[in-house]
Amino acid sequence: MEATALDKSRRMDVDSGLSGRLPRPPRLDDRLQAAFDLVPPCNTCADIGADHGRLSAVLLLKERAQHMLVTDMSPKSLAKAHNRLKGLRLEHRATFAVADGLAALDVLPAARADTICILGMGAETLSGILLRGQEKLLGATLVLGAQTELPLLRRAVMEVNYRIREEHPVQCTGRWYLLMRATPASGEDVIYGAKELFVGPCLLRDQSPQGKAFLLQRKQLLLPLTHAITQAKQAKDKARLAQLKSELQHLDSALLEDDWKESGV
């Protein structure tokens, strides 16, 4: 009987049993590599919305995490991650769960992880995951990567009583991404003001060339959007327009500061 496409896919992911050779370890793109770099060595790491499982696989292969909780809302996506880890003989070091957000942590023996990665979604979705599941964080380090609306995510981090410790801008496939590491707030941490929410507390602190390039790109995205909303003159967009104008003002103010390291941008 002719092998199905699924059989062929599984044959590529799992070792042949004859040579004993494992598939080549997955390579991380620059965005996922930045997320990997933000994960501290830990016993248990949760990859919420793991999709293809590349990050989980490399975290295990490089001993950054001893055990992974690999989760996704999509059974099909989780099956891809499971097949990848099985092919690398890592499935015994992983727990798999089809679950919504941080509810997946309930399948772990202590219902907690040392580090929680949530990447590759919009800030509204990611913020909702944090706010709904904040009682499940239990002091875990958070590695976050939202695609849009970063001020909204920064506010959510503050609302769950965490603070951002690192913001890592990275360019990948022609786009800029921002990866964050957050830990529980301490008594010395301040409440973020508008400038920190719009620009980023760590980007303001570090003032790196990458941070400057990221903020300039953000400004270039906001200018035509602000113009389009202004031209539309729709009442429902007034609040959005005011927010965009405020963000642009804070970006301009930050970029005019003299302390940015030489970037050549």
What confidence tens digit (pLDDT) does each residue in 194-249 have? 999 999 999 999 999 999 999 999 999 889 988 888 887 776 778 888 888 999 99
Kindly state the average pLDDT of the residues 52-56: 95
Whether the per-residue pLDDT at 6 is higher than 50: the answer is: no
Whether the per-residue pLDDT at 90 is higher than 70: the answer is: yes
Enter the tokens of residue 5: 């496409």
Residues 6+ away with beta carbon under 8 Å from 51: 72, 77, 80, 81, 120
Of 35-44, 160-169, 177-186, 231-240, the least confident: 231-240
| Stronger pLDDT, 242 or 154, i.e. the higher one | 154
All structural domains of the chain: 5-188 (3.40.50.150), 193-265 (1.10.287.1890)
pLDDT bucket at 147, cuts 50 / 70 / 90: confident
Burial class (CB in 10 A: 0-12, 13-18, 19+), 185: middle
Which pLDDT value is given to residue 227?
A: 85
